[in-house]
Chain A
Amino acid sequence: MKMIIKKLIAYALAVSVLGVAESVRTHAQQSELRQGTETETLIRNATLLTISRGTLPNSDILIRRGKIAAIGPNLKAASNARVVDASGKYVMPGIIDCHSHSMMDAINELTLSVTSMARIQDVLNPTDVDLYRALAGGVTTLNLLHGSGNAIGGQNTVVKIKYGRPVTEFIFPGAPPGIKFALGENPKRTNFLQLPGRERRYPATRMGVAEVIRDAFVRARDYKTAHDEYRAAAAARSEKTLLPPRRDLQLEPLVEVLEGKRFVHAHCYRADEIVMLLNLADEFGFKIRTLQHVLEGYKVAREIAQHGAGASIFADNWAYKVEAYDAIPYAAQIMTRAGVNVSINSDSDERARRLNIDAAKMMKYGDLTEEEALKLITLNPAQQLGIETSVGSIDVGKDADLAIWTTHPFSVYSRVETTFVDGEIFFDRQQDIARRAEIQLERAQLEQAEPNRAPAPGPTPASTPRPRANSY
């Protein structure tokens, strides 16, 4: 019933929008290429993996103003609508990667053990080609996390992959802010390398990591008290002789954590540490939003569920360091059955392109249903990031972040034909193929130009590895 009402409202909206569209047709046409949201798009006759309501065969999706306006068979669209025939193809929501380091000009601020003043949003690089490759793998949303070199790392940013647009358009509207924590080997070993004139950074043990976090929150609590008292005193007293306390950009985000306004995404491996962090959070009265990697989370699945933390894991990536030896591919299934919200992430520009296959593996290991496996890379990470009202499933009113796949995305033969973000096409396989000749031609012309010509032969150039800090 609710659905029908929603549809009626959608149609009513459509009619009013069409009326406006008629009068401003030329303007709409002018900006059509740039502003795809102005045009309606009808994806016709696809198999829809809705996530929220199962699989709908032979169905259409109507996209209007960047949102999903209607779902169902034989939908009607405006005469100027872009119609995409998806007969025999599958449509699923854009994949959400809950742990990414793409498009970041910096990953770790390794110097201190608490670097909560660092902000990923300050260092975004919207020209990173990995974004385009992620789109080609059906990914539309990334949780960009600070690296794991510090017990308390920097502030994260959630983005939509609007590749080619100004960086401001990437920021996911209304996504709650978060922060990265890290436990175990990374924060304690980061400064094992002894350099002359440099002291080893504290902490060097897992005990120390716990102490650093506890100390930071004690300081944050005192900081909040000092500012609250100052505000109260300043309001009560009229004289202006009260010295304001210093604003501390390191502690302010931690106060937000204490107030429940900022999500904690904690990198962790071992069961004992996971429990330590959950207890520490309980002690200070805040929640851990997600445990990242959490390879031994299956051992303490009930404790995680009880705290209400989500788990964002690898499908089958392990044994790359000592604390990663106890991982098993059944972790997603075990934690899901224990009532934990589980997602699968990439933590890698390369794996980000095939998260569909990583989700598929979770049907092979354990007994997750197709829908449960699909949720691992769609609705579940959306919930973990607090953006599930906008993305994560094919539902009327949600953002039109969608990917059209040639066959079921759990098939190794499946590939993405078209990826939509907010109703606009940001990847299209046919367009990509068509542009290749043009790009080759441009390259050939550019290489002829004087500044691009090679100087006289000399020694072989040094290899240029991509500077990426360790981010596990």
Chain B
Amino acid sequence: MVCAQQSAIDTYAITNARIVTVSGPIIERGTVVVRNGLVNAVGANIGAPQDARIIDGNGLTVYPGLIDANTTFGIPIPTASTSTPRAGTITAGLAAPPAAVSSQNSSQPPGLQPEILAADILRSFGDSLETARAAGIAAALTAPREGIFIGQSALINLAGDTPQQMIVRSPVALHVGFTPLGSGAYPASLMGVIASIRQMLLDAGRYREVNAIYARSPRGLRRPEQDKSLAALLPVLAREMPVVMYADREREILRALDLAQEFNLRLIIAGGAEAWKLADRLRALKVPVLLSLNFPRRTTPQSPEAAPDPLRILRERIDAPKTAGRLAIAGVRFAFQSGQMTNMTDFLTNATKTVENNLQRDEALRALTIYPAEIFGVADRLGTIEPGKIANLTITRGDLFDRNRRIAYVFIDGRPVDLKPATTAPPGTTGPVASGTWTLRVNTGDSREASVTLTLQQEGERLSGSLQGDLGSASIANASIGQTGDVRFTAPVNVGGLTTEAAFSGTITGNEMRGTVQIVGRAPGSFTGTRAGGSAPTSARPPQDASSVRQ
């Protein structure tokens, strides 16, 4: 639970902070006053009210609370197992019926019930909300998890004592996926999925027509059956409610565009990995994209038996961080979403990669704040720091798009929420930072010296990186860093023509690292190293605004 929620304090002032309002110019040193859940005042010459709890914002940057544009945050996972059947056989798709969310007295089977509301099944607690808040996210569009007509989403704040408190707007959009039903019932193929969407939209059109005729003169006409599934599609057919269709590949987006055009729907694309290939058409039709930051990367280890990845896959992985910049140049409106990523710390890490791949820094920020607010019709409440708006704030140490930034505070509805300790730096300290390129001298345990370049990336307590040099090249594994700078990792190394496992254990002090190494089958060795450049590297690209990292 969110302890701060029980606190009686409802006025806060963040003073001496750099404030990126998004609505206006950046305030290099100013104050944000939050009262009763709303932004009360913001500016360079604002005094903190008497009753406010003061947060010293020295070295901090205040942003509007980040919005994740498509999630299942707070939506419970169905209980029954929905194991994937073996593909390529006639049994494909014939798994046990999943316990999908089901609506009462519906004319349609689970998975084809557009009347399902995220707001009705939302929970105000759970890991998904906690990890998202720790990643700096204050609000999100959330939708049910499964189905073809998945249901209607809600725009929620990620903290609240009850689900009702969390909801900012509901319903926002009807969500449509193209994954066949896992129940073994029709439709069990992509063709059937599209055919059933088409049939239901046609049926809804007739439902509207028949009900209008009956309303004019009920006498002498057999009354039409009530059907809440078809009724739920009427706002969509009337273009009052947008339709979010899940589509990543070029051909998937084309199918969504064609379907939306056929029924004159207000389309939003979610996923959008290859949206840049259709940028002209998306711009012309004013179709926004909820662009996933869950970038693909190779997950299979090296194996001589495995077929090499197709060129197309290799290209896709390189292209993923470039899509946002390409869409921005083409004039396609987009907002960032986490795309069901397993590690939410990738959310800002990958947003940073889009900035490193040609997306303007302020455009990236807008895609996390005001653009999703506009797309979901809540720009009057969220998306910027302006008096009267909901006091959702994401407060960082270091620029949001710097790889070394930390989330210091997240305010939701005017209150700071607990962040997971693992990813929270205590205010005023930066902690040991391991990121950078290190030059190591390694004594491999047989009095021989090897020269190795170690590249490290730190995210909280997690480390990733690679080794290259006299010991061969490999990614490191089992890597971690503690509060006092003790580093551990393992890596396959090549010594004397044999590849074996080596376990490194050491301590970082400033720009120096020293420790011991245990190579399998050898006597214990040691290593020393220094960091190239003498400091943790910042991103290669110079900052777009004056927001260089404040340490």
Contacts and interface: CB of A to CB of B under 8 A. Distances in A.
Interface of A: 105-112, 115, 117-120, 122-127, 129, 146, 149, 154, 166-167, 190, 193, 195-198, 240-244, 246-249, 439, 442-443, 446-447, 449-461, 464-470
Contacts of A249: 195, 198-199, 202
Ranked nearest first, the 6 interchain pairs of A and B with the lowest CB-CB distance are A467-B87, A118-B191, A456-B477, A111-B186, A451-B317, A446-B314
A193 B91 contact: yes
B303 A154 contact: no
B94 interface: yes
A195 B94 contact: yes
Contacts of A146: 191
A442 B311 contact: yes
B190 A247 contact: no
Interface in B46-94: 87-94
A155 to B, nearest CB: 9
B184 A243 contact: no
Interface in B307-357: 307-312, 314-315, 317-318, 320
Contacts of B91: 193, 195
Nearest to B306: A461
B6 interface: no
Contacts of B251: 105, 124-127, 167
Contact of A457 (B206, B214, B217, B492): B492
B305 A118 contact: no
Contact of B96 (A108, A196, A451, A460): A196
B202 A198 contact: no
Contacts of B210: 243-244
Contacts of A149: 90
A90 to B, nearest CB: 32
Contact of B194 (A107, A119, A461, A466): A119
A111 B188 contact: yes
Given A442-B311, A457-B302, A111 B184 contact: yes
Given A454-B302, A455-B477, 8 more contacts: A119-B195, A190-B90, A241-B220, A243-B221, A451-B317, A452-B314, A454-B475, A455-B300
A451 B318 contact: yes
Contacts of B196: 117
A457 B298 CA distance: 12
A48 B221 CA distance: 70
Interface residues of B, number: 70
22 contacts: A118-B192, A120-B191, A193-B94, A195-B94, A197-B96, A241-B217, A244-B209, A443-B311, A451-B295, A451-B296, A451-B317, A452-B309, A453-B298, A453-B475, A455-B300, A456-B301, A461-B303, A467-B88, A467-B92, A468-B88, A469-B89, A470-B89
Contact of B318 (A195, A449, A467): A449
B9 interface: no
Interface string B443-476: 0000000000000000000000010000000111
Contacts of A120: 191
Given A197-B97, A461-B306, A243 B213 contact: yes
A151 B187 CA distance: 16
Contacts of A129: 310
B29 interface: no
Contacts of B221: 241, 243
B216 interface: yes
A191 to B, nearest CB: 8
A6 B310 CA distance: 48
B494 interface: no
Contacts of B395: none
Nearest to A459: B301
B120 interface: no
Contacts of A195: 91, 94, 96, 184
Contacts of B300: 454-455, 461
Interface in B221-274: 221-222, 224, 251, 254-255
A438 B401 CA distance: 36
A451 B301 contact: no
A460 B213 CA distance: 64
Contacts of A465: 87-88
B187 A461 contact: no
A465 B191 CA distance: 22
B499 to A, nearest CB: 9
A456 B90 contact: no
Contact of B301 (A122, A127, A446, A458): A458
B298 A454 contact: yes
A454 B301 contact: yes
A390 B294 CA distance: 47
Given A109-B192, A198-B184, A451 B88 contact: no
Nearest to A120: B191
A112 B186 contact: yes
Nearest to A108: B189
A398 B315 CA distance: 38
A193 B94 CA distance: 10
B317 A117 contact: no
Contact of A119 (B90, B94, B191, B214): B191
B312 A106 contact: no
Q: Which of A193, A454, A465 has the most CB of B within 10 A?
A: A454
A443 B297 CA distance: 15
Nearest to A439: B311
A149 B222 CA distance: 39
A246 B203 contact: yes
Contact of B303 (A126, A197, A442, A460): A460
A450 to B, nearest CB: 8
Contacts of B190: 105-106, 122-123
Contact of B195 (A117, A450, A457): A117
Given A122-B255, A451-B297, A198 B94 contact: yes
Nearest to A186: B90
B216 A240 contact: yes
A180 B184 CA distance: 22
B213 A122 contact: no
Contacts of B192: 106, 109, 111, 115, 117-118
B317 A457 contact: no
Contacts of B93: 110-111
B88 to A, nearest CB: 4
Nearest to A189: B90
A11 B197 CA distance: 52
Nearest to A246: B206
Nearest to B314: A446
A404 B60 CA distance: 69
A108 B189 CA distance: 7
B523 interface: no
Contact of A123 (B191, B214, B222, B308): B191
B318 A446 contact: yes
A216 to B, nearest CB: 15
Nearest to A126: B251
A154 B492 CA distance: 53
Nearest to A442: B311
B121 interface: no
**Which among B185, B224, B298, B305 has the greatest number of chain A C-beta atoms within 10 A?**
B298
B299 interface: yes
Interface in B277-293: none
Contacts of B92: 467, 469
Nearest to A467: B87
Query: Taking each of A118, A127, A154, A249, which has the highest tally of chain B beta carbons within 10 Å of its own beta carbon?
Result: A118
A228 to B, nearest CB: 18
- Most A Cβ at <10 Å: residue of B186, B191, B251, B299: B191
B491 interface: yes
A201 to B, nearest CB: 10
Contacts of B476: 456
Contacts of A452: 297-298, 309, 314, 317-318
Nearest to B305: A460
A114 to B, nearest CB: 10
Most buried by B among A111, A457, A470: A111
B303 A455 contact: no
